[in-house]
Amino acid sequence: MKDKNPLLEEKPNHAHYPACLGRLEAINKQGSALFIFSLVSGLLLSVISLTGYPLQVIGWLPVLVGGSTSELSSGMCVLQMLICWGLILLGLFGCSRYKICHYILFLIYLLMFIVPIFHMFTLLDAFTFIAGGLGVIFGYRAPNNYYDYQQLSETEGFPLFSIILTEHEEKKRFSRSCSDSYGNSAKQGQQANAQAPAGIPANAPVNTPVSAPVSAPLTAAPVSREAAKNDPTEGIVGMPELEINKNTELKAAPDRFRPKSGKAGRISDSGLKFR
């Protein structure tokens, strides 16, 4: 088992997001390139399979089933074509979360590159050798990508590694927990009020009643009608005196605007005039 990549380890405050996102994008980009190559090479090798010649590595299974190493039957040619199309499917599935498919595809291309070096019989084996060599070039990162992808899938923030989205989700969880705690406290308060006596809340403070002094009512002495006619103020006792302030007219500089004639001046509606 390969050791974990220290650059992809989780860090506080989501500090590992940029490195993890960059590595994930690189894995997807390299996987797409390997799929495109597997598509082209798979179609080319499937066309070569129509000749009936068993290809290196790809034709091993038809040779074992058919028993001939020089020429394949029509049924074995179809089987060899299906194996070539299987390489295309491995490249396609490897672009998803099944990175193990690209790992397997790299190993197949490695065999296709190594075996013809020692056992090259015809010119058609050169196509297998070239396809295997190019496949190794496009897929040599597949093993490392597989292990890094496994680590990324277990890392916090996968697969988006978006700080904005993560903070939004954290706020939603925090607000939900606050609302739950508030709802529980409200339910407890309602239960406590339900258990308290009617008309008295459960958390009401207990006050000791204090009796207020009772004052005697104020009664006025009876007044006769004759006394009221002679003296209207008879019977009115203890009336407070009201201070009444009369506003006096204030004149600004009363002697300054007196005309020489000695007559008083006035202001009419038609304007300011003196006479």
Render 24-43 in DSSP notation, one character per residue: HHHHHHHHHHHHHHHHHHHH
59-81 residue pLDDT tens: 888 888 876 777 888 888 999 99
Predicted model pTM: 0.61
Average pLDDT over residues 8-13: 88
Strand partners of residue 169: none
pLDDT at residue 264 tops 60:
no
pLDDT at res. 258: 57
Query: Helix, strand, coil % (nearest 5) of the chain?
Result: 55, 0, 40
Q: Which residues have C-beta within 8 Å of that of residue 274, sequence separation ≥ 6? A: 259, 265
pLDDT at residue 11 tops 60:
yes
**Alpha-carbon dihedral sign for residues 117, 118, 119, 120:** positive
Average pLDDT over residues 261-271: 54
pLDDT at residue 199 tops 90:
no
The residue behind tokens 């040779």 is 63
pLDDT level of residue 85 (50, 70, 90 thresholds) = very high
155-191 residue pLDDT tens: 988 988 887 766 656 666 666 666 555 556 656 666 6
Average pLDDT over residues 255-260: 56
SS3 per residue for 36-91: HHHHHHHHHHHHHHHHCCCCCCCCHHHHHHHCCCCCCCHHHHHHHHHHHHHHHHHH
pLDDT at residue 94 tops 90:
yes
> Phi then psi for 13, rounded to 5 degrees?
60, 30
Half-sphere exposure (Cβ direction) of 35: Cα atoms closer than 13 Å: 17
